[in-house]
Chain A
Amino acid sequence: MPDGTDIIYYYDGSFEGLMCCVFESFIKGELPVEIVGPGEHQVSLFAQREIVTDIEQARRVIAGIGNKIGGEALQFIQRSFLTCLPGKERSILLFLRKGFRVGQRIMRMPTDDAVNTLFNAVRHLSNEVHLLSGFVRFSIHQDVMAAEITPKNYVLPLLAPHFVDRYPNERWLIHDKTNSVVVLYEQGKTQLLEVEEFTLPAPDEEEVKFRELWKLFYDTIAIEGRYNPKCRMTHMPKRYWENMTEFQPGGKAGAENEKPRETAAMRVLPEAKRLVK
C-alpha cells in the first residue's frame, strides 16, 4: 500500500461513514492525506473524493475488525472516534492498517506510534468522562432533571450509562453544548439527539433554594487555614467551572435577574434535528 496518496476523503461524520473510508482506502490501495467530516470543506490542492456511507459495507468492515484484530480493538477505535484528537479519522485508519497486519497483538503495543496517538487521546477522553461523572450539575425543572456540559470530547455515549445506573426512575437530560447534542433518558430508554438551539428554563423557587444550600455547603466545607487554590485547580480545571452550581453568581438575586427563558426543556426536544443513533 503506498504511503502517501494525494487525496482527501470527505465523509458524513458518522462512524459508519468512517468505516466506508477505511474500506475505500483498502480497496484502492491508497492512504488519503486527510479524512474530513461535514462542515470542514476547504479549498485545497489535493484531489477530493466524497465517500458515501453504505451501512452494509460499514458492517462488513466492523465485522472484519472484530475477527481480525479483536473486540478490544474495535471498542478502542469506537472510543477513539469520540475523542477530540485532531485528525482522529486518519489516525484510526493508520491504526487499522497496522492492526490488519499484526492482528490482536496491536493492543499490546502501546508504544507504537500508530497506537500511542490513539491511546493518549482515549485516555484523555476517559479522564474527562470520569471527571464529568462528578462535575455534572442537574437542575430540576418540574419533574425533569437537566444539565449542561461543555466537554472537549464527545463524552455523552460514555457518560450517559453512569447516570442510567444512578437515576433509572427519573427523567433526565444532559446537553452537550460543545457538540450540540442532548442525551435524553426516560423510562429505561436513552436517546441521543442533535439539537441546534437549546436553553433551559429559569429555575423555580425550590431549585434556587437548593442551589443556594449547595453553595453554602461548598463555601463552608473548606478549611481557611488550608487554603490552596492551586491544588483545587489541578484537580478541577477551570473550564469545568462554568457549568457548576457552586461557581454561579449569587443564587437568589442572580436567578431573578436572569431573564426567564420561555423555551421549556421538553418543548425543544421534539424539534430536535436528527436522531444520531
Chain B
Amino acid sequence: MDIFKKLEILTDSAKYDVACTSSGVDRTAMHGGLGSTVSCGICHSFAADGRCVSLLKVLMTNACVYDCKYCVNRRSNDVPRTTFTPRELAELTIHFYKRNYIEGLFVSSGVIKNAAYTTEQMIEALRILRHEYRFSGYIHAKGIPGASEELLNELGMLADRMSVNIEMPSNDSLKLLAPDKTKQSVLEPMRFIRDRKIENKNELTVYRRAPRFLPAGQSTQMIIGATPETDLQILNLTEGLYRKYGLKRVFFSAYMPVVEHSLLPALTTKPQLLREHRLYQADWLLRFYEFQASEILDEKNPSFNPFVDPKCNWALNHMEFFPLEVNKASYEELLRVPGLGVTSAKRILRARRAASLDFDALKKLGVVLKRAKYFLTCRGKVKEGVRFRQDEVLQSLMSKKEFQMYRSSFFLPDGTKQLSLFEPPVVLAEDVQKCLTGQI
C-alpha cells in the first residue's frame, strides 16, 4: 500500500481521539538535533471542524484484535487495514516537522497481536525519532491497557505525555461496550504512570539531569452520549480522576455514531456537541476557577442547563454573592464573575494597584463587559442602565427566541421543573456553533 493510502486510513481512524494538545513542557533542541516544545502549546492549523491541529495524529495500525462496539477499528468491522512501520512513521513525522506543519506526533494504535507487541512497535518508532533523529519535539503516545510496566516505562521515557483512555464514563458501560476491557485494566496503567512520575520527580531532585518520565503527564478521554450516565456522574468521575491520578487533562468526545449496533444510539443520532461543550466548560471551572464539582451539579440538578453556561448558572443561583466590587474583590472572587476569565482577573489585579478602576478602565483592559457588568460594581456603582435582577441578566444573555424557549422549557435557575434537556430545539443549533467558539 502506498504511503498516501496508509496515511489516509490511519488518520481517518485516529480522528475521533480528541486530545491534540502539545502543552506542558518547555525544551529546546539538543545538540545536533531538532525540535523544541513550548509549555503553552502551539496550534499549527485548524481543521474544518474548528479543532486545533497541533500533532500528527495517526494510528500505528488500525488492525485490532479487540471488538469495542463503538469503535471503527473493532475486529468485526469490515474495513481495509494497514500498519505503519516504525521507520515510516518516524520519517513522516520528521518531514512534517521540518516544514512546521506540526508540533510533534500523537501516536495511538489498535491492538495488533497483543498489547505488548503493539507497545513495542510504538517504542521503536519513538526510539528512531528520539535517538536517531535526536528529535526534541512533542510526542504523545497512547498507553495500551495490558502492556507490562516495563514497556509502559520504556514508552514513557521517550514520550512527553501518555494517555490511557477510560473510554466510558462507568464500569457498566465499559463492560457492555468494550467486552475486552475492564475498569481495572484501564486504571492499572494510570496508577503506574502516577507512581512512576512521583518516583521520577525524586530522581530529578537528586540528579537534575536524570532522564524525565512523561514530563507533560498523562491524560484520558471518555465518550459522551453513547451511554446513559448523567452529567453529574461524568463530572464527579472527572474530578475524581484529577484528584486521584493527577491527570493533566480529561477529554470528552461526543459520540459520533459510526457503527450500527443494538446497544448504541442509532446512526442518525446527532453528536451531543452542546453537552460536550458544557462538560469542557465545567472542566475549566474545576481546573482553573477553583470550583468543586458539587458546586456545579448535584443530585437535584444532575444535568447542565442547555441555555446558560455552568459558571453563569452558578452565579444566577448565587445572586447573594454579587455584585462584587472590582477594586476590592479577591482573585478567587473575580473568577466567579461570568465573563471574567483568568487573564481578565489577573489584569484587573495588576491595574488596580496603580489606580482605582471604573467601567471605562475595564474596557481599556480588554475586559468584556457584556455579562460581567451585571455582577460588578466599580467604586461602589453599578454600570449605568444595568439592573441586577435574575430576569434581566437572563434576557441579556440570550436572544429573544432563546429566552422564550428558556421560559417555556420550565427550566428555572433554581433547578426545579426541568424537562428533558439534551434535546434542545433545533433552532438552538446555530447558537451552539456560536458558543462552541466562545469562551466562558
A-binding segment of B52-60, B77-85, B196-204, B420-428: B52-60
Q: Is the CB of B48 within 8 A of A169?
A: no
B-binding segment of A30-38, A47-55, A217-225: A217-225
Set of chain B residues within 8 Å of A26, measured between Cβ atoms: none
Q: Given A225-B256, A226-B49, are A213 and B92 also a contact pair (CB < 8 Å)?
A: yes
Q: Given A134-B44, A145-B99, A223-B15, are A217 and B433 also a contact pair (CB < 8 Å)?
A: no
- Please pick, from A168, A223, A228, the residue contacting B436 in the complex, using a CB distance under 8 A: A228
A100 is an interface residue with CB less than 8 A from chain B: no
- Please pick, from A120, A167, A229, the residue contacting B34 in the complex, using a CB distance under 8 A: A167
Report the minimal beta-carbon distance from A231 to chain B, rounded to whole angstroms: 3
Q: Given A169-B29, A214-B96, A222-B51, are A230 and B256 also a contact pair (CB < 8 Å)?
A: no
Within 8 A of B (CB), among A162-180: 162-163, 165-170
| Alpha-carbon separation in the docked complex, A158 to B33 (Å) | 22
Q: 1/0 contact trace for B43-71 toward A, CB 8 Å?
A: 11111111111101100000000000000
Q: Is the CB of A136 within 8 A of B100?
A: yes
Set of chain B residues within 8 Å of A219, measured between Cβ atoms: 48
Set of chain A residues within 8 Å of B38, measured between Cβ atoms: 133, 162
Set of chain A residues within 8 Å of B354, measured between Cβ atoms: 105, 108-111
A139 is an interface residue with CB less than 8 A from chain B: yes
- Please pick, from A136, A165, A225, the residue contacting B271 in the complex, using a CB distance under 8 A: A225
Set of chain A residues within 8 Å of B98, measured between Cβ atoms: 138, 140, 145, 167, 170
Set of chain A residues within 8 Å of B49, measured between Cβ atoms: 222-224, 226-228, 231-232
Set of chain B residues within 8 Å of A228, measured between Cβ atoms: 48-50, 433, 436-437
Q: 1/0 contact trace for B6-36 toward A, CB 8 Å?
A: 0110011001100000000000110011111
B355 is an interface residue with CB less than 8 A from chain A: yes
B42 is an interface residue with CB less than 8 A from chain A: yes
Chain A, Cβ-Cβ closest to B16: A223
Q: Given A222-B51, A228-B433, are A134 and B43 also a contact pair (CB < 8 Å)?
A: yes
State the B residues within 8 Å of A (CB).
3-4, 7-8, 11-12, 15-16, 28-29, 32-36, 38, 40, 42-54, 56-57, 92, 95-96, 98-101, 103, 137, 254, 256, 270-271, 273, 347, 350-351, 353-355, 357, 360-361, 364-366, 433-434, 436-437
Q: Is the CB of A232 within 8 A of B100?
A: no
Q: Is the CB of A222 within 8 A of B47?
A: yes
Q: Given A217-B56, A231-B433, are A108 and B353 also a contact pair (CB < 8 Å)?
A: yes
| Alpha-carbon separation in the docked complex, A72 to B101 (Å) | 34
Q: Is the CB of B34 within 8 A of A166?
A: yes
Could you list 28 A-B pairs, sorted by A, with CB under 8 Å? A108-B351, A110-B347, A111-B354, A111-B355, A111-B360, A112-B355, A133-B42, A147-B100, A162-B38, A163-B100, A168-B29, A170-B34, A214-B96, A218-B47, A220-B12, A220-B15, A221-B47, A221-B53, A222-B15, A226-B49, A228-B49, A229-B48, A229-B50, A230-B437, A231-B50, A244-B45, A245-B99, A245-B101
Q: Is the CB of A221 within 8 A of B29?
A: no
Q: Is the CB of B46 within 8 A of A232?
A: yes
| Alpha-carbon separation in the docked complex, A234 to B365 (Å) | 21
Q: Given A221-B57, A226-B273, A235-B50, are A139 and B99 also a contact pair (CB < 8 Å)?
A: yes
Q: Is the CB of B4 within 8 A of A222?
A: no
With A210-B99, A223-B51 known, 4 other A-B pairs at CB within 8 A are A134-B54, A138-B98, A220-B7, A222-B48
Chain B, Cβ-Cβ closest to A120: B366
| Alpha-carbon separation in the docked complex, A216 to B100 (Å) | 16
| Alpha-carbon separation in the docked complex, A110 to B344 (Å) | 13
A76 is an interface residue with CB less than 8 A from chain B: no
Q: Given A134-B45, A222-B48, A226-B271, are A168 and B101 also a contact pair (CB < 8 Å)?
A: no
